[in-house]
Amino acid sequence: MNKTVLVTGGAGYIGSHACVELSEAGYDVIVVDNLSNSQMEAVRRVEQIIGKPLVFYQADVRDKPALSDIFQQHKIDAVIHFAGLKAVGESCQQPVAYYHNNNVSTLVLVETMAQFKVSHLVFSSSATVYGDPQSVPITEDFPLQATNPYGRTKLFIEDILRDLSQADVLNNAELPWKIALLRYFNPVGAHSSGLIGESPNGIPNNLMPYLSQVAIGKLEKLSVFGDDYATRDGTGVRDYIHVVDLAQGHVKALDYLLAKATDEGLCEAFNLGTGQGNSVLEMIETFQSVTGQMVNYQIVDRRPGDIAECYANTDLAEKKLGWKAQKNLHDMITDTWRWQTKNPNGYEEKL
Ligand code: NAD
Ligand code: WQD
């Protein structure tokens, strides 16, 4: 019989791609999302790709009665927790909203899971928990630090989940937690169908959606934030990872947790990146050569809070989860561009 996985935030950018990969891997998927940063159209498009309906609940994960109802109605085997707010700048302006949404939703979720004896959890963490790393590539045992409220929500949640796992040891728990903390590097790209992708509200904060909106003529010019970093061309270097590879990483993490013996508890962190770093100028050049579109850009001052270089060592995920990113920068850009050209206004365009 298929295992059933509850996907919080499943209407969002990464969650929607994960729903496709989970379904294709034979999991039954239930989505809970409050649609605060997504649209129902994303769920419809996922259904179109997988060729069957998704069980969808519009609810806030902080709403305990609503969440309990879902656990009551379905026999859930595991949870993937994507739901959360994710904009670094906004988190500095509205820290309480971020702590409330991200941290309280996780507390309500783990309380409800414990109540219904569900012990398998995959959590969306972020490379942001490494702060400004002393060196690259980054391994999972690097010191953790947060440099903004968003990052602190992720760090707190990681701590909460590690504490839960530790408590199992102290309590000699019969059904210990099995938790994977997946630290994503820079997710980009879209499903190869062009049906689902990243649909940011307003002006994008992140490089790839900004770049593609300049290329399609929705935005005038890309600002390159600084060319005086100690990197090969002076611009910031990041580990861009295709969202479909990332989604498949969740399937592998779930398989890994579900294969553990009932009485074996764990809380392990894994980097999900490609292990390759690319600079902003390299991204622009590759974007231009892959799409044939010129990208108007100018060099401006550094963006406060940015770091010079960030890329992953992914050996642990390869060794333990049997996962390695398959797609290259060319694929990431081709798929981003297909999504952008087919959906110039994101999910506002109904297919
Ligand atoms: P997203 O905003 O597209 O998706 C998040 C989804 O969660 C949205 O559909 C939103 O409506 C929903 N949501 C938010 N709060 C909720 C709540 N309280 N109850 C129910 N639903 C709620 O973001 P994404 O890019 O898909 O990111 C998913 C997760 O991955 C987030 O936790 C994010 O912090 C993390 N992450 C993202 C990135 C990135 O660059 N995209 C990088 C590292 C980590
Ligand atoms: C990438 C590079 C910028 C925009 C953020 C979060 C991180 C994680 C992923 C959630 C940097 C440069 C960008 C632009 C530019 N999210 N840039 N002009 O900052 O690495 O990571 O998203 O967990 O926590 O901080 O991603 O795409 O914003 O920037 O020059 O208009 O592109 O300076 O070097 P970042 P990004």
Tell me the pLDDT tens digit for each residue of 42-60: 999 999 999 999 999 999 9
Q: Which of 13, 156, 238 to mutate to test the pocket of ligand 2 (most atoms within 8 A of CB)?
A: 238
Which pLDDT belongs to residue 348?
82
Which pLDDT belongs to residue 349?
59
105 lines ligand 1 (CB under 6 A): yes
Instruction: For the chain, list the domains and their CATH numbers.
Output: 4-348 (3.40.50.720)
**Amino acid at site 233:** D
CA angle, 264 then 2 then 79, to 5°: 55
Of ligand 1's listed atoms, the one at least distance from the Cα of 101 is 18
In sign, the C-alpha dihedral spanning 124, 130, 131, 137 is negative
Which pLDDT belongs to residue 351?
52
Task: Tell me how far apart the alpha carbons of residues 327 and 340 are, in angstroms, rounded to a whole number.
Answer: 19
> How would you classify residue 268: left for phi > 0, otherwise alpha for psi between -120 and 50, otherwise beta?
beta
Of ligand 2's listed atoms, the one at least distance from the Cα of 222 is 31
Q: Give me ligand 1 centre to Cα 21, in Å.
A: 17
**Amino acid at site 180:** A
Task: Tell me how far apart the alpha carbons of residues 30 and 126 are, in angstroms, rounded to a whole number.
Answer: 23
Task: Tell me how far apart the alpha carbons of residues 248 and 17 are, in angstroms, rounded to a whole number.
Answer: 9
**Which residues lie below 8 Å from residue 144, measured CB to CB, with a gap of 6+?**
129, 130, 131, 155, 158
Task: Tell me how far apart the alpha carbons of residues 97 and 348 are, in angstroms, rounded to a whole number.
Answer: 26
Whether 212 and 200 have beta carbons less than 8 Å apart is answered as no
Could you read off the pLDDT tens digit of each residue along the chain, which spans 351 residues? 999 999 999 999 999 999 999 999 999 999 999 999 999 999 999 999 999 999 999 999 999 999 999 999 999 999 999 999 999 999 999 999 999 999 999 999 999 999 999 999 999 999 999 999 999 999 999 999 999 999 999 999 999 999 999 999 999 999 999 999 999 999 999 999 999 999 999 999 999 999 999 999 999 999 999 999 999 999 999 999 999 999 999 999 999 999 999 999 999 999 999 999 999 999 999 999 999 999 999 999 999 999 999 999 999 999 999 999 999 999 999 999 999 999 999 998 555
Cis check for the bond before 137: say yes or no (omega within 30 of 0): yes
**Which residues lie below 8 Å from residue 97, measured CB to CB, with a gap of 6+?**
85
Condensed to tens digits (0 to 9), the pLDDT of residues 292-335 reads: 999 999 999 999 999 999 999 999 999 999 999 999 999 999 99
Q: Residue 279 is inside which H or E element, if any?
A: strand 278-279
**Amino acid at site 200:** P
Catalytic residue among 57, 150, 184, 347: 150
Q: Quick check: is 150 catalytic?
A: yes
